[in-house]
Structure 1
Amino acid sequence: MKLVKLIANLGYGSRREVAWMFREGRVTDSDGDVLYADDKLPQERIRIDGEPLDPPSGLALLMHKPVGYTCSRKDAGRLVYDLLPPRYRRREPALSTVGRLDRDTSGMLLLTDDGALLHRIIAPKSHVTKLYEVTLAEDLKGDEGELFASGSLMLDSETTPLAPAVLHVLGPRHARLAVTEGRYHQVRRMFAATGNRVETLQRVAIGELGLDDLAPGQWRAMTREDIDKVIGPAAAPG
């Protein structure tokens, strides 16, 4: 791939804008030597304004989504993409969220430009566990765990019961819930079915991968080890 197209695909600008970067001497190699558009060298040796290029396609990110942000490209208000460098919104192929968290839900959110990886995580047959921590408006009654684990709970407007889920009670109004599906507002609707209401909701893990020490609004690139923790090493693509 030509360097102009490579750099443009990473979102640094249009091809015309990237061509001007070359003319201005802003594109160099790792030794500081100015590059030209028809040069050929590995991506890891290319620098723009002295900084390494962003990772190539196949990128996966782990983000701690704050409350108040939407997993959308077009909605009004604050978007999760606003938490990334502006050029990340211009990458080709585009970054997409792996599933969604609603505006009032915080916690672990994955983004990737790898369509196969995205599908592998969200496909129902993958049974990837998502762990949520909730605080509730009312005390737990004590029978919620049995109901959620039964595989018989039917939500309003649904035609099939939910797959079994595991409830870990942490306090009278505090619990963790592990689910393997991703139905619309599923956790909130599950507790609503018991006559309770979720006041705060945070996703704290996907598969075996947790948020680590990321503060709300922070993000980092995922490693192969991270991906293996989400979908398992045997299933990891590539």
Structure 2
Amino acid sequence: MERLQKVLAHAGVASRRKCEQLIAEGRVTVDGQTITEMGYLVDAEKQAIAVDGKPVAAEQKVILLLNKPTAYMTTVSDPEGRRTVMSLLPQVAERLYPVGRLDYDTSGLLLFTNDGALTERLLHPSRDIEKVYRVTVEGKVDKEARQRLAEGIELEDGLTAPAQVEMLRQGDESVVQIAIHEGRNRQVRRMFEALGLPVKRLKRIAFGPIALGHLKTGQWRLLEPAEWKALYRSVELTPPPYARPTFPKVERKERPARRGKKPARHGTRNRKKS
């Protein structure tokens, strides 16, 4: 449920302030009933909304995937003026928000969407959505450490759920792939630190059925239709129609007409005096 003026603004009817004016003037109806109450809550997907008798279509659902670099905040804005992930996305008409967070020093797969229901289910602990990370640590991840990760690590906020661990490289600097189903704050880093293995690099490479693949750091892409359906079905939601974001139209500047060649000047410069 969202405020009526917000739904109208997101649907591209007008600015938020102008939409509030339309409501106050009695020009907006919900299921055939005129609404003048500011802040009236509606479900845009289930209720019929109209302005001056013309139906207002619900905002299309959009999902983007970003390969987040380190040194970016996973927030829409930052009061300290630090760079945020929003600066890496294209300008689109839809208002997108990150699905969960990646730490400032963590890179990798980050989803963005305007679908609140999808976001809520993806982040809800009861859904057990799998997150896969590639972790580079200082030191060797021996058999005992891998066993403890697989059984759960006791942290200050309780025992972690069992993790799936795959050894990728063993040495003074080791690389491990780990899959978890929880979303505690800085969880993967804290798990390895509890084992005496400081994390040097941390990258998320999968979120539920979505894999990062070969997307370069700092770049974004749309989900493929099959990925779109798989993501919704992973949280038991019916996939809405597949949609691409609405990119603003770029006005082409008309090139000035070419002027004809100037006629040759027949001056007297450099002429020899007769």
The residue that corresponds to 1:150 in the other structure is 151
Please state how far the C-alpha of 1:13 moved relative to its aligned partner: 8.5
The match for 2:201 is 200
Alpha-carbon deviations, 1:76-124, whole Å to 9, x = none? Answer: 2111100123455xx4xx4221110011111000111111100111111
1:79 correspondence with 2:80: no
- Name the SS for the 1:63 alignment partner: strand
Moved over 3 A (4+): 5-8, 10-17, 40-43, 227-234
SS in 2 for 1:143: helix
Alignment correspondent of 2:253: none
Question: What secondary structure does 1:205 align onto?
Answer: strand
- Offset of residue 57 of structure 1: 3.2
- 3-state secondary structure, aligned to 1:202: strand
- Aligned CA distance change for structure 1 residues 119 and 137 (closer, same or farther; 3 Å): same
Matches for 1:77-226 after TM superposition, within 5 Å: 77-87=82-92, 91=94, 94-151=95-152, 153-155=153-155, 157-158=156-157, 160-172=158-170, 173-226=174-227
Asked if 1 retains the 8 angstrom alpha-carbon contact of 2:135 and 2:201, the reply is yes
Higher relative contact order (CA 8 A, sep 6+): 1
Paired residue for 1:30? none
Distance 1:214 1:41 in 2: 39
| Aligned equivalent of 2:73 | 70
Q: Mean alpha-carbon deviation: is it higher for 175-184 or for 73-82?
A: 73-82
Q: Deviations over 1:4-47 (max 9, x none)?
A: x9996378984799xxxxxxxxxxxxxxxxxxxx9x8999xxxx
- Rounded Cα–Cα distance in structure 1 between residues aligned with 2:231 and 2:214: 17
SS of match in other structure, 1:217: coil
Identical residues among aligned pairs (%): 37
Gap change, CA 1:195 and 1:233, over 3 Å in 2: closer
Separation in structure 2 between the aligned mates of residue 42 and residue 11 of structure 1, nearest angstrom:
9
Deviation at 1:131, TM superposition (A): 0.3
Q: Contact 2:8–2:56 at 8 Å: present in 1 too?
A: no
Q: What do residues 158-197 of structure 1 show as CA deviations (whole Å, max 9, x unaligned)?
A: 1x31111111011110110000001000000000010111
Aligned-residue Cα RMSD (Å) equals 3.1
CA contact under 8 A between 1:70 and 1:79: conserved in structure 2?
yes
Moved more, 59-68 or 171-180: 59-68
Q: Deviations over 1:138-161 (max 9, x none)?
A: 12132122111213x221x31x31
* Alignment size in residue pairs: 197
The separation in 1 between residues aligned to 2:13 and 2:107, in whole angstroms, is 29
Taking structure 1 as reference, are residues 6 and 73 closer, same or farther at Cα in structure 2, changes over 3 Å only?
closer
Q: Which structure 1 segments of 5+ residues have no match?
A: 18-37, 44-54
What is the deviation of 1:225? 2.0
With over 3 angstroms needed to count, the CA separation of the structure-2 counterparts of 1:193 and 1:233, relative to structure 1, is closer
Partners of 2:72 and 2:82 within 8 A in 1: yes
The answer to whether the Cα contact below 8 Å between 2:232 and 2:238 also exists between their aligned partners in 1 is no
